[in-house]
Structure 1
Amino acid sequence: MELELVTVGTELLLGHTVDTNAAEIAEAVAAIGVRLTRRTTIGDDGAAIADAVSAALDRAGTVIVTGGLGPTRDDVTKRAVAGLYGAPLELDRAYLADLEHRFARFRRGSMPESNRCQAEIPRGASRIPNPRGTAQGLVLDGALGTAVLLPGVPHEMRAMLRDSVVPLLAQRLDASAAAARIVRSLTLRTTGITESGLADALAPVEQKLDGVTLAYLPGWDGVDLRLTTVASDATEADHLLQMAASALEPSLGDRCYGRNEEDLAAVILRSLRAIGWTLATAESCTGGLVGGRLTAVPGASLTYLGGVVAYANASKVRDLDVPKDLLDRHGAVSEAVAAAMAAGAARRFGTDAAVAVTGVAGPEGDTPEKPVGTVWLAARAGGYDRTACVRFPGARDEVRHRSVQAVLDLLRGLLGRAADRPPAI
């Protein structure tokens, strides 16, 4: 079964919004054996949408369209596609009543008149429920083929794709064709090593991978290694992926911290929880991003007790007991101050482990000795201390983001050693 994807939104064409929907849809349909043959992005123009959808149906017979189902004047997808099928829009009074009830239930007052158009559906179309928003999805079938319309809001689209669209497509697949093209992927997550460094380390093993492709996906957090295979069934595909991952992992060593969507913060918290230790943070240039990353993990409160954002030197002295003469002698961005910040956080919260970050995120505040991107990191656990100076490329956001990953990785490396002796902080 072949399928094309049309994503709608002028904001996508202008680069104001990243099209994450396309990637999620591509991965989801490949996993059930559907071959995505083309992706097209169109602005909020009815004629252009109709042309794109018509061409996609001619080529593939099935198309998923995202975006343009909202209540505003630039949401024209539904009318454009309905016109291709010769299906007039008709008011679905049951759905209109449901919309009005939703607005009343969430105390938003009466439903705006502009939302009324979202209760209009093309004659003969099937509805796809949207539990997270007001724009229902639609399925149109006819001589042209099948068009599936979904809202462009990512969290709404994602739920509808998973709960309704993927099961629908799987049901319509020819069983024999599906069996021949089950696509599965597995990701190994690495940090603290460059893409080229990984390529050199894995070259001997990569050449021997059988039936599995390897893609290097660098990002701010590190380099993800995406293993992909096509097999006759899911069991065979998963077996091939596990064999390939097992072959690669010895060459990765401790640079690999997890698989698939696993986050380094979750790895850290799980390791600390296993030995009954607690954690505190002290941050300067990252301004709370380390704490935010940790608290994004469910159950973090069992291990992470709190943190201090000490941006100004006075705050470092007052809130973390960093000696003023240390700041005067070495400056805020220094090994000595980073270590003192970590020690201060551990004392303040009474924890077994702590991390600290202080650096020059830019674009100002640099010196010849400490250019933009210079960051000092500190970690302590179980009586051990470790510091590191790193210099990150990129703008302010990238430096701050990379610093969070780096300090978590510094602590990860320390925990294996520190866990062998009782805490002595």
Structure 2
Amino acid sequence: MRIEILTIGDELLLGFTIDTNGAHLARELAAVGVEIVRRTSVGDGAEVIAAAVREALDRTGAVITTGGLGPTADDMTKPAIAALFGRAMVMDAEHLAWLEERWRTRFNGPLPVSNRQQALMPEGARKLVNRHGSAPGVWLEDERGRWVAMLPGVPREMRGMLADTLLPTLRERAARESGAGRAEPPVVRSRTLRTTSIAESMIADRLGALARGVDGLSLAYLPGQEGVDLRLTARGLPAADADAALAGAVARLRELVGTWAYGEDAEELPEVMLGRCRAAGLTLSVAESCTGGLLGARLTAVPGSSDVFLGGVIAYANEVKRGLLDVPVEMLAEHGAVSEPVARAMAAGARARTGARVGIAITGVAGPGGGTEEKPVGTVWIAVDVDGEVRTHRSVFIGDRGEIRFRASQFALELLRRTLARTAAV
């Protein structure tokens, strides 16, 4: 089955909203064997919506849209596509009654006139139930078997409807179209090996002959602030065969990449390191200067982090470094705040203040100003103190202020990972 995705909304074209719906649809559909041949974004105008759907139907005969099903004047998806199919818009009395009751019980008042359009459906369309919001989805199909599935643009509603209603329909359809009564259609599945603190080119050198792919599986390099993700993709195999091939390929990549690999798929380094500290019975605290609490925020974003992470100090000013972390004034005067001795003292101070067994300190020049010839913008000193044994590292990170701060927080976790591995603490 070949499908095109059309995401609708002026906000997507203007850059105010990131198209997370298109990405989620592509991942979920690939997992059930659907091939996404094109993703397109258009504005809210009825003419551009109809034109984009018409072109997609001519290419594949199957389109999923998101957006434009709301109650306001710019929600034109249903009437635009209904007109394309030559269908009139008719009122769904059952959904209108449900809307009126919902508004009365939840908002203690009558249904606004504008919301009535959410109960309008193209004639002959199948309603896709939305258990997560007020706008139903729509399945509209013509006599040639070409179809459009319309989903809301609100990500929570779209994802819920996709799982509840649309994916089961597509699985059945894909199984029929795969031919020969095949019980299990081919799938498109991916697995990702996550690395950090190693360049994309260095990974390719390590992989050698596997740099272009592993046993027929495609390999993509996805560099980002966290590091370089290695994504393997299996196409055209039954689910069990795809999973087995991916598992073997990931194992081969991990062996070649070695210690640079820290996790797989959606695993992030804060989650990984909290797990390792938890397994080793280690508690953790932080002392942050240029990152301003970013490392602590990333750690506490992980559910269950409270059994490992005790807290920290945002010591931006030297006075706070002295007063709360006991960094000696003489040390600050002699070496400056961005220095190895100060990073060491900050990590020790964080441990002392919180009673944690592990202290992580970050101090640096995030820019865009403040750099010198000796300490240019991007210079960051990081210290990891585990039960009094300290490991430090100086980096000069590239990027803007936000990127430097994020990369500093990422490498702080990576330095902790290396330190624990070296000391056999986990």
Query: Which TM class, normalised by the smaller chain length?
Result: over 0.9
The answer on whether the counterparts of 1:320 and 1:348 sit within 8 Å (CA) in structure 2 is yes
Picking from 242, 254, 258, the partner of 1:249 is 254
The answer on whether the counterparts of 2:213 and 2:219 sit within 8 Å (CA) in structure 1 is no
Q: Which residue pairs with 1:66 in the alignment?
A: 66
- Cα deviation, 1:281-334, whole Å, max 9, x if unaligned, reads 111121211111111111111111112212222222222222222222222221
Rounded to whole Å, the distance in 1 between the matches of 2:138 and 2:196 is 42
Rounded to whole Å, the distance in 1 between the matches of 2:108 and 2:323 is 45
Q: Which residue pairs with 2:164 in the alignment?
A: 163
SS at match of 1:90: strand
Please tell me whether residue 325 in structure 1 is matched to residue 327 in structure 2: no
Please tell me whether residue 412 in structure 1 is matched to residue 417 in structure 2: yes
- Aligned counterparts, 1:271-282, within 5 A: 271-282=276-287
Does 84-93 or 274-283 show the bigger shift?
A: 84-93
Cα offset, 1:175, TM superposition: 5.5
Rounded to whole Å, the distance in 2 between the matches of 1:171 and 1:43 is 32
- Aligned counterparts, 1:17-56, within 5 A: 17-56=17-56
> RMSD of the alignment, in Å?
2.3
Q: Which residue pairs with 1:393 in the alignment?
A: 398
- Aligned counterparts, 1:109-128, within 5 A: 112-128=112-128
The answer on whether the counterparts of 1:383 and 1:418 sit within 8 Å (CA) in structure 2 is no
Cα offset, 1:272, TM superposition: 0.7
- Cα deviation, 1:214-254, whole Å, max 9, x if unaligned, reads 11000000000000112431111111111111111111111
Cα offset, 1:420, TM superposition: 4.3
Rounded to whole Å, the distance in 1 between the matches of 2:266 and 2:299 is 15
Q: Give the aligned residue type for 2:2.
A: E
Q: Give the aligned residue type for 1:154.
A: P
Please tell me whether residue 340 in structure 1 is matched to residue 345 in structure 2: yes
SS at match of 2:133: coil
Rounded to whole Å, the distance in 2 between the matches of 1:119 and 1:383 is 66
- Cα deviation, 1:55-74, whole Å, max 9, x if unaligned, reads 21122111001122223322
Rounded to whole Å, the distance in 2 between the matches of 1:131 and 1:98 is 12
Picking from 298, 319, 329, the partner of 1:293 is 298
Number of residues of Structure 1 aligned to a counterpart in Structure 2: 421
Cα offset, 1:22, TM superposition: 1.8
Give unpaired runs (5+ residues) of structure 2: none
Aligned-pair identity in percent equals: 51
- Cα deviation, 1:98-136, whole Å, max 9, x if unaligned, reads 445556666697765433322333233233333443333
- Cα deviation, 1:385-416, whole Å, max 9, x if unaligned, reads 11111111111111111111111111111112
Q: Give the aligned residue type for 1:176.
A: S
Rounded to whole Å, the distance in 2 between the matches of 1:284 and 1:78 is 52
Does 198-207 or 267-276 show the bigger shift?
A: 198-207
Change (3 A) 1:363 1:99: farther
Does 323-332 or 126-135 show the bigger shift?
A: 126-135
SS at match of 1:351: coil
The answer on whether the counterparts of 1:382 and 1:419 sit within 8 Å (CA) in structure 2 is no
SS at match of 2:214: coil
SS at match of 1:17: coil
- Cα deviation, 1:183-205, whole Å, max 9, x if unaligned, reads 11110000010111111111234
SS at match of 2:266: coil
- Cα deviation, 1:143-202, whole Å, max 9, x if unaligned, reads 262111112233332222233222211111126357563211110000010111111111
Rounded to whole Å, the distance in 2 between the matches of 1:126 and 1:317 is 68
Q: Which residue pairs with 2:178 in the alignment?
A: 176
Change (3 A) 1:102 1:341: farther
Please tell me whether residue 368 in structure 1 is matched to residue 373 in structure 2: yes
Does 189-198 or 331-340 show the bigger shift?
A: 331-340
Q: Give the aligned residue type for 2:409.
A: V
TM-score under structure 1 length normalisation: 0.92
Change (3 A) 1:207 1:399: closer
The answer on whether the counterparts of 1:384 and 1:418 sit within 8 Å (CA) in structure 2 is no
Change (3 A) 1:409 1:35: same
SS at match of 2:385: strand
Does 194-203 or 63-72 show the bigger shift?
A: 63-72
Picking from 376, 379, 383, the partner of 1:378 is 383
Picking from 201, 209, 212, the partner of 2:217 is 212
Give unpaired runs (5+ residues) of structure 1: none
Q: Which residue pairs with 2:263 in the alignment?
A: 258
SS at match of 1:365: coil
Cα offset, 1:364, TM superposition: 1.6
Q: Which residue pairs with 2:11 in the alignment?
A: 11
TM-score under structure 2 length normalisation: 0.92
Q: Give the aligned residue type for 1:223.
A: V
Change (3 A) 1:57 1:420: closer
The answer on whether the counterparts of 1:182 and 1:237 sit within 8 Å (CA) in structure 2 is yes
Change (3 A) 1:404 1:71: farther
